[in-house]
Amino acid sequence: MPTLADIQLARQQIGDVVVRTPLVPALALRDRVPGTLFLKLENLQRTGSFKDRGALNRLLALTPEERARGVVTASAGNHAQAVAYHGARLGIPVQVVMPEHTPLIKIANTRRFGADVHFHGATLDEAITEARRIEREESRILVHAFDDERVIAGQGTIGLELLEQLPDLTTVIVPIGGGGLISGIAIAIKEQRPSVRIFGVEAAAAPSALASRRAGHIVKLESADTLADGIAVKRVGERTFPIIERYVDDIVSVEEDEIAAAVHLLLENEKVLAEGAGAVPLAALIARKLPITANDVTAMVLSGGNIDINMVERIIARGLVSDGRLAMLAVTVPDRPGSLARLTALVAAAGANVLQLSHGRAFADISVRDVEIVMQLETRGPDHVRQIIAELERHGFGVRVEMRTL
C-alpha cells in the first residue's frame, strides 16, 4: 500500500510537468446542492484527465533498460492518452490496447500522442488480458491503469493539493472505476486529516467497488456498459480495494440519466465540459444520495473532460427535453392548403420557435383527410409547452407529445 510519503515523493517527481489544477467554487450550483461546493478541475491536465499524474509517476520509475524495452497498457482512453503523451516526452515506446468501443476522441488523441494502438475485446478487462499477453511475449513493461502503487501515489497528489487549496474542507467526492484515483486521494487526506469524509461514486451499470464492499471481497461484474466509460470497470483492483475499505467512508451509485443530467448541468451552468465519469460526483449530489449538509465544504473531483462531441450533442438535447426547453409535438391538421401556415402562425403567436418539422401521411394513424405534422420546438419550459398544446387544441388541432426524434 502506498504511504503518504510515497505521495509526497510523487509530487516532487511530477510537479514540474503536471498541472496543479484549480479548485473553483461552483457558484452557479448553489441553489441545487447543499453546503458549499468546489470543483477540482482535472479536465485541465494536458491530456484532459487526472491520469497524467499516475502515468507519469510510473514511467519515471522505469530503469533505462525498461524504457528501451517499451511499455504496454490497456485503457478505455484517459490512461492511454497519459501514457502515450508522457511516454513520447520521455522517449519510451508505448503500445496501447483499447476496448473495441472506445470513444473516437480518445482513440484519436492517443494516436496523436504517438502510441501504437490496437483493439481487443468489448471491455477494459478483456483489453487488460491482451495487454498482459503482450507484456509476456514482447517483454514490455505493463503500466496498469489503476492497480499499481506508483500510479496510486501519483493520483494521490490531488489529495495533497485539496488540503492546501481548501483548509476548511469537510468532504471529498471522487469517481470510482478501478479505484486508483480514490485510493491515492484517500491516503493523502485521511493520513493528515482523518475527519474529512471521502465518498466514492460509481455508475450503477458498473458498481464493482460497491458490489465488492457489500460482499466483503472483490466481485467481478458480468458487464460494465455505461456513459461513464472512464469508470466502466468490471473489477476493482487488488491493491485498491483494501485501501478503499480502509479509508473510504461510503460508496454510492448513479443511474445513466443522472449522469447525463450532471454533464449537461456542468456545461450549461458552470461552463465546464466533463465526461461521464467526471460528472458522477455531481450526479450523486443532485440526487441527494450523499449525507451532505448545509455546513459542509465539499470538493468534487471532476476527473476528466474527454467526451465525444456527438455524445455531448445527444446529452444536451436530452437535457433540453427534460427541462421543457425542447419539445416535439405531433399535430393532426386537415390535409388542405393553408393548414400548415395556420399551425405555424399559432405556434409563433404562442412564443415558440420551430426548429424542424416533417409531414406524415401514409404511416400516421389518422384519417386519410388529415396529415400529421411533427414539429420540434424551442420552448421556455414545461408550463410553456402545456400552454402551446392547450392553444392548439383550442383551435381544433389534435396534439400529442412525440418522443422519437425527427
User: Are residues 304 and 353 both part of a single domain?
Assistant: no
List, for residues 319-358, the tens digit of each pLDDT value.
888 778 888 999 998 888 888 899 999 999 999 999 988 8
CATH number of residue 15's parent domain: 3.40.50.1100
Residue 15 lies in a domain: yes
Return the pLDDT at 352. Answer: 92
The last residue of one of the domains, among 314, 348, 371, is 314
Backbone angles phi, psi at 319, to 5 degrees: -65, -40
Same domain, residue pair 156 and 257? yes
Q: Does the active-site annotation cover 195? A: no
Q: Is 51 a catalytic residue?
A: yes
**Active-site pick, 40, 51, 106, 190:** 51
Single pTM value for the model: 0.86
At residue 406, the pLDDT reads: 37
Distance CA 23, CA 42 (A): 9
Residue 276 grid cell = 461521464
DSSP label at residue 140: P
What is the side-by-side strand order in the sheet with 197-203? 23-25, 36-41, 297-302, 171-175, 197-203, 250-254
- 406 belongs to a structural domain: no
Look at residue 189 and tell me if it is in a domain. yes
Report if residue 319 sits inside a domain. no
Read off the CATH number of the domain in which 371 is found: 3.30.70.260
Q: Which of 111, 142, 173 is the last residue of a domain?
A: 142
Q: Does residue 395 share a domain with residue 336?
A: yes
Q: Are 177 and 232 in contact (CB under 8 A)?
A: yes
Domain extent, residue 84, equals 52-142
Question: What pLDDT sits at residue 223?
Answer: 75
Asked, for residue 40, whether it belongs to a domain, the answer is yes
Query: Quick one: pLDDT at residue 368?
Result: 64
Q: Does residue 154 sit in the same domain as residue 62? A: no
The count of structural domains within the chain is 3
114 & 166 share domain:
no
Residues with Cβ within 8 Å of 167's Cβ and at least 6 positions away in sequence, in order, are none
Does 93 fall in a domain? yes
- Dist CA 102 CA 123 (whole Å): 9
Of 125, 142, 159, which residue sits at a domain end?
A: 142
Do 202 and 256 share a domain, yes or no?
yes
Asked if residue 229 and residue 369 are part of one domain, the reply reads no
- State phi, psi for 198 to the nearest 5 degrees: -115, 120
Domain contains 240? yes
Give me the pLDDT at residue 12, please. 97
Q: Are residue 282 and residue 170 in the same domain, yes or no? A: yes
For residues 117 and 170, membership in a common domain is answered with no
Assess if residue 362 is contained within a domain.
yes
What are the residue ranges in the chain where pLDDT is below 50?
405-406
Contact (Cβ atoms closer than 8 angstroms) between residue 19 and residue 280: no
CB neighbour list of residue 138: distance below 8 Å, 6 or more residues apart: 70, 72, 95
229 and 363 in a single domain? The answer is no
Contact 26, 211 (CB under 8 A): no
116, 261: one domain: no
Distance CA 92, CA 68 (A): 7
Residue 257 CA to residue 259 CA, distance in Å, equals 5
How high is the pLDDT of residue 319?
Answer: 80
Measuring CA to CA, which residue among 319, 368, 376 is closest to residue 347?
A: 376
Do 96 and 237 fall into the same domain? no
Residue 286 is predicted with a pLDDT of: 96
How much is the pLDDT for 213? Answer: 97
